[in-house]
């Protein structure tokens, strides 16, 4: 199963593709979609949407995990990120990809085993799980890989729960 993890953003969208075979997780590709400041909002959103779609078309994930937003400071930034997140979800939905959404607490719990883990702990666990030589940079990329790991572990269980609810 190929999983795409997304850490949504407006200036930086972290992404990470991993393959899950049995219990083994293998990194496929990871990086960031960057949009330039002072570019009109609609152009930045278009770039996020098209870039996310192009990555999905190239690496063909079976499912997509997206981090839910958590903001306690800047409302304007929250709206911008929410719009970029919507563009990413739209790109996945248009391709018929199942989408899982996770709070930062859920991602930390899945990757570290503790929902209030520090960012550095999550990054080190991502590095360990995926046998990487270094923590991916920028932080958004490591966060996206953490979302992918969380989603890979949760996907089968979530599918079974959905099937039971439908019956």
pTM tops 0.85: yes
Question: How far apart are alpha carbons 92 and 60 in whole angstroms?
Answer: 11
> SS3 sequence, 97-166?
CCEEEECHHHHHHHHHCCCCCCHHHHHHHHHHHCCCCCCCCCHHHHHHHHHHHHHHHHHHHHHHHHHHHH
Question: How far apart are alpha carbons 86 and 3 in whole angstroms?
Answer: 19
Question: How far apart are alpha carbons 161 and 147 in whole angstroms?
Answer: 20
Any binding-site annotation on 139?
A: no
Give the position of tokens 């080190």.
Answer: 124
Residues noted as catalytic: 7, 67, 140
Any binding-site annotation on 50?
A: no
The CATH homologous superfamily to which domain 2-165 belongs is Ribonuclease H-like superfamily/Ribonuclease H (3.30.420.10)
Any binding-site annotation on 7?
A: yes
- Counting beta carbons within 10 angstroms of the beta carbon of residue 9, is it exposed (0 to 12), middle (13 to 18) or buried (19 or more)? buried
Q: What pLDDT score was predicted for residue 167? A: 72
Longest dimension (CA), the chain: 50
Q: What pLDDT score was predicted for residue 106? A: 94
Q: What pLDDT score was predicted for residue 166? A: 74
Weakly modelled stretches of the chain, pLDDT under 70: 71-75, 156, 158-162
DSSP 26: E
Of the candidates 56, 40, 80, the residue with the CA atom closest to the CA atom of residue 6? 56
For 40, phi then psi, to 5°, come to -55, 140
């Amino acid at each position: 199963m190929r999983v795409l993890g997304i850490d949504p953003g407006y200036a930086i969208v972290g992404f990470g593709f991993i393959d899950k075979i049995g219990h083994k997780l293998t990194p496929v590709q990871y990086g960031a979609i960057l949009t330039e400041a002072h570019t009109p909002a609609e152009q930045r959103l278009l770039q996020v949407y098209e870039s996310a779609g192009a990555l999905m078309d190239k690496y063909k994930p079976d499912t997509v995990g997206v981090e839910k937003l958590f903001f306690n400071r800047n409302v304007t930034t929250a709206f911008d990120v929410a719009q970029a997140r919507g563009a990413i979800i739209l790109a996945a939905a248009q391709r018929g990809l199942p989408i899982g959404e996770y709070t930062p607490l859920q991602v930390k719990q899945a990757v570290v085993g503790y929902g209030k883990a520090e960012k550095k702990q999550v990054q080190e666990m991502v590095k360990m799980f995926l046998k990487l030589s270094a923590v991916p940079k920028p932080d958004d990329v490591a966060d996206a890989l953490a979302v992918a790991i969380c989603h890979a572990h949760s996907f089968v269980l979530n599918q079974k729960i959905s099937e039971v609810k439908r019956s």
